Structure 1
């Protein structure tokens, strides 16, 4: 009898979308591994000044490039700098670019898409036609022009990448708002006299968090890869700062003589990108209620 009452109480208590999503996500081993690896990367980036074996600017020109050893686990570069230290500090920049540029893209895309989807009519048509026009522009050339005209600095890199990555989020958010706009809770908010801004901020955006979270985890690796490509071309992070893309660029120039200069930063970037993609795929499946039949 007590067991039956417990089951009835549990059934009455129910569960939430986020709890169900977490239970489904836990069953996806690749997604959990990706989450753990990402958390480790973030912790290492935050603690880099404390755990880096050498100072960031420490050089030993007499030592030069040496392969991995007990003293330098990942070897040294042509300036005698410890590669493990360089990779740790480079990870801070690469992750910062990924997260901050994605935050800029989300801020623009969510705002633009929510306004277009809620307003509808001519406002929606004009705003989304502008998105279509921007989609047709060669954004890589646009970023390169920004870096050449305004100078190559880290803040501009954040803004430039974020400013060209928001278009897909705007379309996703517009579609979500259009589907939610006809729901009863939105009509109730309108009947209570709430302003459109309040409805969008308090009711529509929170109910569209699922696709936003999934898109975020898939955008961060795209942004990091774009930063790596720009740094490889010499248009991204500039010395004395470093990033994984810049380290890969240096390693590619000397890969025949010193292959470890390319292999280790390449592995760091690859593992992080795979982790983010696995996590994004897992979140997409976990938050897709229609595709999850447990």
Structure 2
């Protein structure tokens, strides 16, 4: 009599149930406790950011100069700044800016990078060579200086900041997509699409891009924390979000200046930023292992 292990039984049941690749990846993702913890935290922080105008304890512009900077208390859970503004309220509103920068700038980078990499990888030859040489040249430029120049030339509008960051974050995405497309373009399903008379654009959008979504999703989750950190760095230098608006980066910059007298102004926004970055990285690692189980240590 042969006994089967629980893992073998689960695998057999999944085969019998005809589970799809995406469903199988989600099952593997659920087994990763750090990734699920990161996802839950992100859902909570995104929900708080969306609901901020209704749940913030005070108005964003409310000041109490007589109160000044006070440490955390029952009335102000995270203290106030030198203008008497509630720190928790400013952190919640700052989360809206930081998360918007992270997601919108990443979406811009995703759009440019996927299209550029797909066209280069599928076209091959001189088109591929010229397109990737442009990527190499842009890689040689210091990203921070490039963003500073764009900000100085086009102004400090928040939407221009989204575009400026997205315009320099698409390069790695383009390389990843190009490599995936080059590995797929000689597969049988692509040759069948060519024999059916589909145009290049139809082949790229209907057959190639849907088949590279796994690596694209994984890299996207790893790009968002990098973008948030870049915006925080720019705000720390005074080149990001301008008053009266604030982001976690600008709050941290202000906290650094007053750390000796009012340490809570640095501690709390730093905690929010750090935990969010950890959550995004844990989720990104979990998605990588879920879509490519060969990289998993299990």
Instruction: Give the TM bin, normalised by the shorter chain.
Output: over 0.9
2:229 aligned with 1:225, yes or no? Answer: yes
Q: Which moved more, 1:119-128 or 1:281-290?
A: 281-290
| 1:187–1:240 CA distance, 2 compared to 1 (3 A) | same
Task: Determine the C-alpha separation between the residues in 2 that align with 1:13 and 1:191.
Answer: 34
Aligned with residue 36 of structure 2, among 19, 29, 32? 32
Residue 286 of structure 1: how far off its partner (Å)? 0.8
Worse overlay, 160-169 or 179-188:
179-188
1:146 and 2:147 are equivalent in the alignment: no
The answer for the alignment partner of 1:4 in structure 2 is none
State the shift of 1:141 in Å. 0.7
Which residue of structure 2 lines up, in the alignment, with residue 19 of structure 1? 23
C-alpha separation between the residues in 2 aligned to 1:61 and 1:240?
A: 16
Distance in 2 separating the partners of 1:284 and 1:248: 31
- Structure 2 counterparts to residues 112-261 of structure 1, below 5 A: 112-261=116-265
Residue pair 2:288, 2:295 contacting (<8 A) in 1 also: no
Match of 2:64 in 1: 60
Instruction: Give the 3 Å change call, closer, same or farther, for CA 287–257 of structure 1 in structure 2.
Output: same
Aligned partners of 2:215, 2:110: CA distance in 1, in Å? 12
Residues 65 and 216 of structure 1: CA distance in aligned 2, closer, same or farther (over 3 Å) = same
CA positional deviation for 1:34: 0.4
Q: How many residues align?
A: 288
**Where does residue 83 of structure 1 map in the other structure?**
87
1:105 partnered with 2:130: no
Residue equivalent to 1:74: 78
Moved over 6 A (4+): 7-10
**Correspondence 1:290 to 2:294:** yes
Match of 1:279 among 264, 273, 283: 283
Q: What is the CA–CA distance in structure 1 between the aligned matches of 2:249 and 2:16, rounded to whole Å?
A: 53
Q: Call closer, same or farther: CA 1:9–1:67 in 2, change over 3 Å.
A: closer
Alpha carbons of structure 1 residues 133 and 109: separation in structure 2 relative to 1, 3 Å: same
Three-state SS of the structure 1 residue aligned to 2:262 is coil
Matches within 5 A, 1:1-20: 11-20=15-24
Aligned to 1:3: none
Deviations 1:118-145 (A, max 9, x none): 0001100110111111100111111111
Q: Shift in Å at residue 57 of structure 1?
A: 0.4
Offset, 1:28: 0.8
User: Which stretches in structure 2 are left out of the alignment for 5+ residues?
Assistant: 1-10
Deviations for 1:13-59, whole angstroms, at most 9, x for unmatched residues?
42111111111111111000000001111100100001000001000
> Whole-Å Cα distance in 1 between the matches of residues 260 and 100 of structure 2?
31
Structure 1 unaligned runs (5+)? Answer: 1-6
- Specify whether residues 293 and 19 from structure 1 end up closer, same or farther in structure 2 by C-alpha distance, changes over 3 A only: farther
* Pair 28,247 (structure 1): closer, same or farther in 2 beyond 3 Å: same
Q: 1:148 offset after TM fit, Å? A: 1.4
Instruction: Tell me the CA shift for residue 240 of structure 1.
Output: 1.2
Q: 1:268 aligns with which of 267, 272, 275?
A: 272
Q: TM-score, normalised by structure 2?
A: 0.94
Using the size of structure 1 for normalisation, the TM-score is 0.95
- CA-CA distance at 1:151 after TM superposition: 1.2
Aligned 8 A contact 2:58 2:86 in 1:
yes
The Cα offsets for residues 73-125 of structure 1, whole Å up to 9 and x where unpaired, read as 00001110000000000000000000000000000000000000000011001
Measured after TM superposition, the shift of residue 266 of structure 1 is 0.4
